[in-house]
Amino acid sequence: MSLEILTADSLTPLRHGFFTRKGGASSGVFGGLNCGTGSSDQAEIVAINRARVAEAMQVAPEHLAGVHQVHSADVAVVTGPQTDKPRADALVTNVPGVALSILTADCQPVLFADVSAGVIGAAHAGWRGAVDGVLEATVEAMVALGAARGAITAVIGPTISQRAYEVGPEFFEDFIADDPDNSRFFAGGAGDRMQFDLPAFGLARLRRAGVGHAEWIRHCTYHDAERFYSYRRTTHAGEADYGRLISAIRL
């Protein structure tokens, strides 16, 4: 089965993609294109999957850069092939031939580009990282490499949608304490539960950061099990582990 790669017209002509789980070598609960080296999947199978992604991005496997994701606002600047993965949740570069990649399984994968300046970025933005400023930090790191804030395009890939993201009152209260205007990202649920709109929150943060264009490609990881891995769906099903989706961009 060939790989399925979702793209955004706004990021053309750059080679990029939000890869679904289709076309991979993993089996069982990881069935498909599991690219998570931190999962309990077989390491050699994950390496095969990652090599397929590198080939699709037209780079050597060692040029498929990534980070050891920790739900932070830290950004790594990539200057060439990696010898190890820094602890961070976003990457930026102005080096042609290097693909930046992010892993997700409900959190937001966000790909960035200022095509005219030749600067790109990729960020892993769950609710924690988004609140702490990983999206804004990615924009700032791109500007430091020569990007123009208003020329940056940012695209949010497959992520968990509001109707699948039920949270408790403590979660809501933390967001309101951070900014009372955050109430607009919540809808009422059953009992004291609420539904949180993660992609709308991400779009709002990106637009407040001053990017020229921001969009969500409108795919929900939770509700499409054939195409996407989902941490929350796995938890609800009582499964032992879950695969990780990969998203990538290169100059």
* pLDDT tens digits for range 59-90: 999 999 999 999 999 999 999 888 889 999 99
User: Is 168 inside any structural domain?
Assistant: no
The pLDDT assigned to 53 comes to: 98
| pLDDT per residue as tens digits for the range 136-184 | 999 999 999 999 999 999 999 999 999 999 999 999 999 999 899 999 9
Q: Is there a contact between 16 and 7 (Cβ–Cβ < 8 Å)? A: yes
What's the Cα-to-Cα distance from 239 to each of 34, 225, 226, rounded to whole Å? 15, 13, 16
pTM, to two decimals: 0.97
**Count of the separate structural domains present in the chain:** 1
- Mean pLDDT on 216-230: 97
187 assigned to some structural domain: no
Query: Is the predicted pLDDT of residue 58 greater than 80, yes or no?
Result: yes
In a domain, 184, yes or no: no
Closest CA to 111 of 251, 247, 227: 247
Task: Provide the CATH number for the domain around residue 218.
Answer: 3.60.140.10
**40 is written with which tokens?**
């309990």
Query: Which domain does 135 fall in, by range?
Result: 5-161+197-250
pLDDT attached to residue 83: 83
Helix 134-144, helix 198-208: angle, nearest 10: 40
Cα–Cα distances (Å) from 81 to 94, 98, 100, 153, in that order, read 13, 7, 11, 25
**82 assigned to some structural domain:** yes
Q: Is residue 18 part of a domain?
A: yes
Residue 127: inside a domain, yes or no? yes
The answer to whether residue 91 is domain-embedded is yes
* 185 within a domain of the structure (yes/no): no
Mean pLDDT of the chain: 96
CA distance 206 to 90: 14
